[in-house]
Amino acid sequence: MRRKLLAWFDQNAREMPWRSDPQPYHVWVSEIMLQQTQVATVLPYYRRWMKSFPTVADLAAADEAELLRHWEGLGYYRRVRSLHAAAKQIMERHGGEFPLDFESVLALPGVGRYTAGAVLSISAGAKLPVLEGNTQRVYSRWIALRRPPSDPSATRLLWDVAQAMLPHRGASSGTFNQAAMELGALVCTPTGPDCDSCPVRAHCQAAKQELQTEIPGKIKRLRYEDRTEFALIVDRKRRRETEYLMRPLPEGGRWAGLWDFPRPTEVGTETVDQAASWLAEQLGVPVDHGPRLRTLRHAVTRYRISLHIHRARLSEATSMADPPPTPWQWVRLSHLDQLPMSTTGRQIHAYLQDNRQPLLPLG
């Protein structure tokens, strides 16, 4: 199986920048980016990241807002904060050199057994297994595992399989691990696996028993909850340029550290009136909301969100201190490109760019 899989990989491996130059730092960044994200999506992000932060030292010294801006659109922003924290740890404890022993890598923020094994096997040839979505499925089919791979006993068994399959000599463990992951990505796919082109079909127990469409066992599907949210666009005209009321989102919440238009994320709101009341409490002045501009629909964790975007303004009978209370700020439209924002925040930004006239009058 090893020989056949490695021969197939030699002919079919996709070209990826971290494969052509598998330095530990390169492999580490790619593995973190690839968590719950497809290769095609990651590639442009990876290239831009390496151009801006080519070394661990560059990453450790970077401003968090700049890192978030580079990560914008990849989601799961905790990953980039873990990268930043880990880079600082590498500078403090390892002299800026990415460690090459398993325990030290495992001690880095955001790194688990899979990531540590992937980085060290691919970059340094360490004899360490990997078990992630693709290899979990591949190995489950190879041994015709009838239990869900998420079952703790099944997970332990699959780690044992991953360890046992590593080459004893010759080819590196990193090459084998990549070959198994590549097989899962290109051939042994979750649905409709292409068994006819699989290089190891003759050895696969699921294929022999015609169970390849039933294995791996049922994985609990996420049930989405519908949720309605509101964003309020408050603007003013200053020096011939429109400014918008914004804030960096608070720590511990969704999209922490990213900049956003007024949108309640710490509390639930069922109506635009409640959203306006929330903003009024934040600013200390009454807020009037206007008509809905548009609705964006997106999914976050277990929620399917309908985000209604409304115009709003401060009540004409009152005035707010300038600058506004922390953390709120007036931000010029031309400056929004430089701020890290969520995907929906960036969509609102794009809408405002296409409709550059100030939104002050509510009609």
- The catalytic residues are 31
Closest CA to 17 of 50, 41, 57, 55: 50
Amino acid at 100: L
d(CA 177, CA 167): 10
CB atoms within 10 A of CB 336: 20
d(CA 260, CA 308): 14
Tokens standing for residue 91: 């500078």
φ, ψ dihedrals at 312, nearest 5°: -155, 165
d(CA 307, CA 66): 26
Q: Which value, to the nearest 10 degrees, does the dihedral of the CA atoms of residues 196, 200, 203, 207 take?
A: -30
Peptide bond into 216 cis (omega under 30): yes
Closest CA to 48 of 25, 75, 67, 27: 67
Which position has the token pair 């707010």?
320
d(CA 34, CA 263): 29
Sort strands 241-248 and 259-260 into parallel, antiparallel or unpaired.
antiparallel
Helix H or strand E segment including 334: none
Sort strands 225-238 and 303-314 into parallel, antiparallel or unpaired.
parallel
d(CA 341, CA 335): 12
